[in-house]
Structure 1
Amino acid sequence: MGRIGKLLAAFTLTLAITGTPLMDGFTAGTVFAETNQQRKVKVQEKAGFINVAHRGASGYAPENTLAAFDKAVKMRADYFELDVQRTKDGHLVLMHDNTVDRTTNGSGEVKDLTLKEIRQLDAGSWFSSQYAGEKVPTLEEVLDRYRYQPINILIELKKPELYPGIEKQVALMLLKKGVSFRPGKIIVQSFNHDSLRTYHRLQPWVQTGVLVSLTEYRKGVSDEKLREWKEFSDYVNPNYKLVDDRLVNRVHQNRMKILPYTIRSKATADEVRATGVDGFITDYPELGY
């Protein structure tokens, strides 16, 4: 089966798992036209360096909040990154840690709390009194707020092994909100590469990124791994300490891009940028200009 056949088959599967017709005003003609465009131009984004605001502009506002995402928009980042987990009652919310303890005035694991309980928490005061009362957003809320704004979204599936089926749930949310077929609007990434492979099977037209940890790959990334990853990923996103000219060249030879994380100083930004990376993920978006 050729690539267009695979895309159409995957799209049919996506419709089947929704149990509903196309959403948000899409017709079959417009969707298949956009799918065909994705086949011709797989990655469509701003030319030049890709500036990703880590958990929003988290150097200036509390991470994974609307305040941080608004700041990223104001600072003209190309993307903001966010972390998705699931509540006890099945809602997709934004939280980096498995627990709410560090970034809210509450306690407990995300998976053991309902959306109502999480929405009652203060997610801003830990950062600054200026942000007292900031709420934990849902993924749906963020997609509604930013889908037509001049910024793209990098979605991390955080600990997806804790949330069976979250790949399908995210895929359906992107379809429902009309963003999954917009070239370059969304990238989905994860440290769990099996989960990312599952996501790619559901929506192969959506860009994906393999996150690469320093702990697991301290000895380096093999050519074999790169060949494996390119089957389901468009980006290799490693800890910046793993990045050198050789890794960047090998990623590019495998027709992927590379966005290291997390850059927090100008010295690090300059050093990483000199290796030829395609962009980076930073708490301070001005470092990516």
Structure 2
Amino acid sequence: MPKILNIGHRGAKGHVAENTLASFAKAFELGADGIELDVHLSADGEIIVIHDHSVTRTTSQKGNVADLSLSQLNHLKIDGIHNIPTLAQTVDAIPSKLVNIELKAKQAAKPVMHLIEKYVQENSRDYRQFLVSSFDWVALKEIRESNANVPLGVLTEADLELAIGFAKSIQADTIHPYFHLLTSENTARMQSQGFGVFAWTVNEPEDLARMKSFGVDAIITDFPDRL
């Protein structure tokens, strides 16, 4: 059986503050093959690695990411310790392994695509080291219409059949279902149609064992050490 990729959800979210350079480093320390992270755009157009639309939950301040400049965001701390990284800082800091970039804002689609193109052209990285996923399927379609080489992943938490149909329409590489949607049969069916199956977010031992038994291609988890 092919190796199931171990993908650290927002880094090693179960161990270190999410979407921080320390969390990404911890994920690789714990055996992750790649990381998943989330991005928004700052007020001045920088690609910011953060899950929420606002900074309220993860920092001591309030405000929307889209209303704050990179300079302002640089003054904030997650858990009073960690800086909020940019996507470029993150890619520069980690090994040349898989980076699954989840678009949380449609406006980030083209900037993320251009950053990936820059790394491929200037830094000798391969497109296959990146994977752009989103629940915003329009954003994925926008990337595909501009670049046929950027790997795309279709996220879904409800309608698997709709996700499969859309993935076909944009020639996506992977489908990322909420793990409760998966069975051994639909996993095999997606794979037979050429899609990698990335299950999220799987943390409990019994759920991890079930996903492994289905033969998914990747497991996205808060605890990379549990795989």
Verify same fold: TM over 0.5.
Answer: yes
Residues 51-66 of structure 1 correspond to what in structure 2 (within 5 A)? Answer: 51-66=6-21
The corresponding residue for 1:274 is 213
Residues 118-197 of structure 1 correspond to what in structure 2 (within 5 A)? Answer: 118-123=73-78, 125=79, 132-146=80-94, 149-160=95-106, 163=107, 166-178=108-120, 182-197=126-141
State the Cα deviation string for residues 157-182 of structure 1 (Å, max 9, x = none).
1132xx2xx22211111122336860
- Please, what TM-score do these two structures have when normalized by structure 2? 0.92
Give the CA deviation at 1:253: 2.2
Is residue 2:154 matched to residue 1:204? no
Any conservation in 1 of the 2:154–2:163 contact (CA below 8 Å)? no
Report the secondary structure of 2:133's partner residue: strand
Give the CA deviation at 1:260: 0.9
Report the secondary structure of 2:191's partner residue: helix
Cα distance between partner residues in 1 of 2:105 and 2:126: 26
Any conservation in 2 of the 1:191–1:210 contact (CA below 8 Å)? yes
State the Cα deviation string for residues 93-125 of structure 1 (Å, max 9, x = none).
0110111111111111111111111111111x2
Report the secondary structure of 1:63's partner residue: coil
Cα distance between partner residues in 1 of 2:56 and 2:29: 29
Give the CA deviation at 1:267: 1.2
Root-mean-square deviation (Å): 1.7
Identity, in percent, stands at 30
State the Cα deviation string for residues 68-99 of structure 1 (Å, max 9, x = none).
01101212211101101001111110110111
The corresponding residue for 1:22 is none
Any conservation in 2 of the 1:73–1:150 contact (CA below 8 Å)? no
Higher strand share: 2
For structure 2, list consecutive stretches of 5 or more residues without a partner in the other structure. Answer: none
Report the secondary structure of 1:52's partner residue: strand
Give the CA deviation at 1:183: 4.6
Length, aligned pairs only: 223
The corresponding residue for 2:176 is 237
Cα distance between partner residues in 1 of 2:179 and 2:19: 21
Q: Which has the larger radius of gyration?
A: 1
Any conservation in 2 of the 1:181–1:205 contact (CA below 8 Å)? no
Any conservation in 2 of the 1:273–1:279 contact (CA below 8 Å)? no
Cα distance between partner residues in 1 of 2:4 and 2:144: 25
Cα distance between partner residues in 2 of 1:231 and 1:256: 12
Give the CA deviation at 1:225: 4.6
